[in-house]
Structure 1
């Protein structure tokens, strides 16, 4: 059984290209031997890390109060989804050259020292290894992979920091110029994806 975590970060539901494309990825990879975990970061939005969360997170697990455990409950649930998943399909549209705020909030909740990464004598080490990520980036005008794209490299870096180094990108950019061409390019990349074999970077 393969478990896929399907995560969308777009603030839009109606007319969202990233949501439509992540669903195409799911439909393309789905089979009787696949379990899908669905996580929509738009509703409800992930909580923001605050002082109480930080103190709770850095309190040793055995010493946490019931209140501190409650502060970390949402984060624990998001981390458990990542830990269970074999493949993570992420819809990350480019907003103002970077990632949506809801996606950044999700990252802050799942990047936890001693849980999803650890510090070693040779530097940080990700603990979410042997997983694969397929990231759908959409953009109206920012070319994916360009000097003004601060979303795709950041997303890849954070996933790698957590141990997820097998990252494939599906890009639909230039949608405000030639929408049909951008979507067609992304669809071709999706059709090249395989469920049971790790492929070369489509972009």
Structure 2
């Protein structure tokens, strides 16, 4: 049975374009795989703490210093379990200040673990999360593609694609809606194009 991991990170709730797009991607996957199971992670409502010296101490074999830390480590462990169980990963990733939301960065930090999701070899790092398909629902106010002078400021899609590739997830499709802050016509056109791309997903 196909398992779909559905991740959202926008703080905008019902006003979020990335959340609307991830919902459509998941619906499309369910249409293609009617018996699929969906695992939902809303990183705004269920966010892990930022990494700290206390986390690193536990990672290196130290004791868990507080109940709050223990609970947070359990959340991070669940993120890892979600990742390995998933066949399809759907990530909502709005651009905030040229990068991804801190909530999503926290998720990346928890799934990027040497010896679990990647390892170092004599030929360089090797990703250990293989055989998965990822969709990134990218939403951003400006235009950062093509010959746009803003292209060098994209540390959102480039970061996520590289972070996923580092752990072995290389089959990545970006569903993009950009220019959302450039007027109603630009926003409507961008959303329509993204929805058309979703409707064309064939597997």
CA contact (8 A) 2:54 2:65 kept: no
Match of 1:24 in 2: 24
Per-residue deviation at 1:100?
A: 0.6
Ranges of 4+ aligned residues in structure 1 off by more than 6 Å: none
Match of 1:119 in 2: 120
Q: How does 1:62-141 map to 2 (within 5 A)?
A: 65=63, 70=70, 72-141=73-142
87-96 or 43-52, larger mean C-alpha shift:
43-52
Task: Say if 1:142 and 1:94 are closer, same or farther in 2 by CA, change over 3 A.
Answer: farther
Q: How does 1:141-160 map to 2 (within 5 A)?
A: 141-144=142-145, 146-160=151-165
- Partner residue of 2:194 out of 181, 186, 202: 186
Match of 1:200 in 2: none
What is the TM-score when the length of structure 2 is the normalising length?
0.88
Task: Give the CA RMSD over aligned residues.
Answer: 1.7
Which protein has the bigger helix share? 2
What is the TM-score when the length of structure 1 is the normalising length?
0.88
Find the residue that maps to 2:202 and give its secondary structure.
Answer: coil
In 2: Cα distance, 1:89 partner to 1:45 partner:
17
String of CA shifts for 1:14-57, please: whole Å, max 9, x gaps.
Answer: 21100001000011110432110000001132211011111211
- Partner residue of 1:171 out of 152, 171, 176: 176
Task: Say if 1:89 and 1:127 are closer, same or farther in 2 by CA, change over 3 A.
Answer: same
Find the residue that maps to 1:92 and give its secondary structure.
Answer: strand
In 1: Cα distance, 2:153 partner to 2:170 partner:
23
Per-residue deviation at 1:104?
A: 0.6
Per-residue deviation at 1:111?
A: 0.7
Per-residue deviation at 1:67?
A: 5.3
String of CA shifts for 1:46-79, please: whole Å, max 9, x gaps.
Answer: 21101111121132xxxx6465992632211100
Gaps of 5+ in 1: 196-203
Find the residue that maps to 2:41 and give its secondary structure.
Answer: strand
Match of 1:161 in 2: 166
In 1: Cα distance, 2:109 partner to 2:60 partner:
14
Aligned length: 191
Gaps of 5+ in 2: none
Find the residue that maps to 1:29 and give its secondary structure.
Answer: helix
CA contact (8 A) 1:22 1:136 kept: yes
CA contact (8 A) 2:58 2:64 kept: no
Find the residue that maps to 1:75 and give its secondary structure.
Answer: helix
